[in-house]
Amino acid sequence: MAVKPGYKQTEVGEIPEEWADVVLDSVTKRGSGHTPDKKHPEYWNGRINWVSLADSDALDDRYIEDTAATITPAGVANSSAVLHPAGTVILSRDAGVGKSAIMKVSMAVSQHFMAWRCGPHLDNLFFYYWLQAEKPEFERIANGSTIKTIGLAYFQALRIPLPSLSEQRAIAAALGDVDALIGALDQVIAKKRDLKQAAMQQLLTGQARLPGFCGEWGVKRLGEVLEIQKGQLITEKEAVPGAVPVIAGGKVPAYFHNRPNRTGKTITVSASGASAGYVAFFDRPIFASDCSTIGEGVEYSIEFIFYQLELRQATIYKAQTGGAQPHIHADDLSPLEVGFPRRPEQTAIAEVLTDMDAEIAALEQRRDKTRALKQGMMQELLTGRTRLV
């Protein structure tokens, strides 16, 4: 395939003619880390942040500032750990392969991480975004039977495309703006979820009443007023391919079948596995497999019942039995006590909470679209297919 005008073919692919193709080690100072001996308590719980696999959830969010564990200067002095300066870019090369971040303060790392101190020709935020874009490749090349890892030789030979410093910073700024928007949406979503939780606590217990409603609520056990049914176990091999979602361990379909065993609106409660007790709601035909189900009724609003169970999600999880393979049976749900107002008030409460869920879902959809936009921008900007300067 011919190279388009203004571009050249290199070992890192087709890039603009003004860009360089360099070995990463030529523009960074590469390092790693170590785990101080845990038999020496004097090496631990000091003032030095120490990045380990326990911090995986804190990565991939541009900067890392706090860590799950800390070490002491003695821990650094008596091990192969190194104190890396603020601004160092780190990458997990073992479990959680490809996760990266920039140190906001000086830190040490475990041997599971690579650490690069960028030289004068490489902007650390640009480099962070390049690592983010390469994550699928890092995951692909990692090998190992128990823990996937990337060997040191790979990083010694790793090459990157290198635009001018001004273009690097322009690219990083553009991607940073998108990250800021995603972060703002995450904050709004978190706030809306908190508001919904507060509304559930007030409305579903009768502590607050919607305008126009009064009267006492009745408290009944779930099994007294509802029929809780078992699902029909089916394996993927037994399922005939189709468009009907098979529900077992949560809200996401395990696979698809060609016919439903539940139609209309249905509440499902996962019956076994790590998600045993997870409550979900479906307003489309489904095939209920490894779960208990509650269908529509006359005396109650199924949406109201769903929100009552969602409010009690933590309590339902606590009812798990079975140890290593947790279970929640229909009989475990029957004793749950639920407050029931008259049907019109049930419907009104459910409508308020459904509207809140719809608002959250719309925000989540906007955030997910923004994330997809960011992925596309990284592919365009970090390869030079789209230029900002």
Is the pLDDT assigned to residue 286 strictly greater than 80? yes
3-class secondary-structure state, position 37: coil
Report yes or no: 204 and 345 within 8 Å, Cβ to Cβ: no
> Which CATH number fits the domain 223-340, given the four candidates 3.20.130.10, 3.40.980.10, 3.90.220.20, 1.20.1260.10?
3.90.220.20
User: Rounded to whole angstroms, how far apart are CA atoms 268 and 67?
Assistant: 38
Report yes or no: 55 and 64 within 8 Å, Cβ to Cβ: yes
CATH architecture of the region 164-217+342-389: Orthogonal Bundle (1.10)
pLDDT band at 251 (very low <50, low <70, confident <90, very high): confident
Interval 182-217: pLDDT, tens: 999 999 999 999 999 999 999 999 999 999 999 999
Report which residue type is found at 129: Y
When the pLDDT of each residue in the chain is averaged and rounded to a whole number, the result is 94
Give ranges for CATH 1.10.287.1120 in the chain: 164-217+342-389
Report yes or no: 348 and 238 within 8 Å, Cβ to Cβ: no
Q: Residue 259 is encoded by which pair of tokens?
A: 């016919």
Spatial CB neighbours of 150, under 8 Å, sequence gap ≥ 6: 93, 94, 97, 138, 141, 142
Model pLDDT, residue 386: 93
Query: Which CA distances in Å does 159 have to 10, 144, 176, 305?
Result: 10, 23, 23, 57
List phi, psi (to 5°) of 292.
-95, 155
Interval 5-62: pLDDT, tens: 999 999 999 999 999 999 999 999 999 999 999 999 999 999 999 999 999 999 999 9
**CATH classification (class only), 7-162:** alpha beta
User: Rounded to whole angstroms, how far apart are CA atoms 169 and 39?
Assistant: 45
Is the pLDDT assigned to residue 145 strictly greater than 90? no
pTM: 0.86
User: Rounded to whole angstroms, how far apart are CA atoms 60 and 102?
Assistant: 9
Give ranges for CATH 3.90.220.20 in the chain: 7-162, 223-340
Is residue 45 left, alpha or beta, with left meaning phi > 0 and alpha meaning psi from -120 to 50?
A: left
Query: Average pLDDT of 151-167?
Result: 96
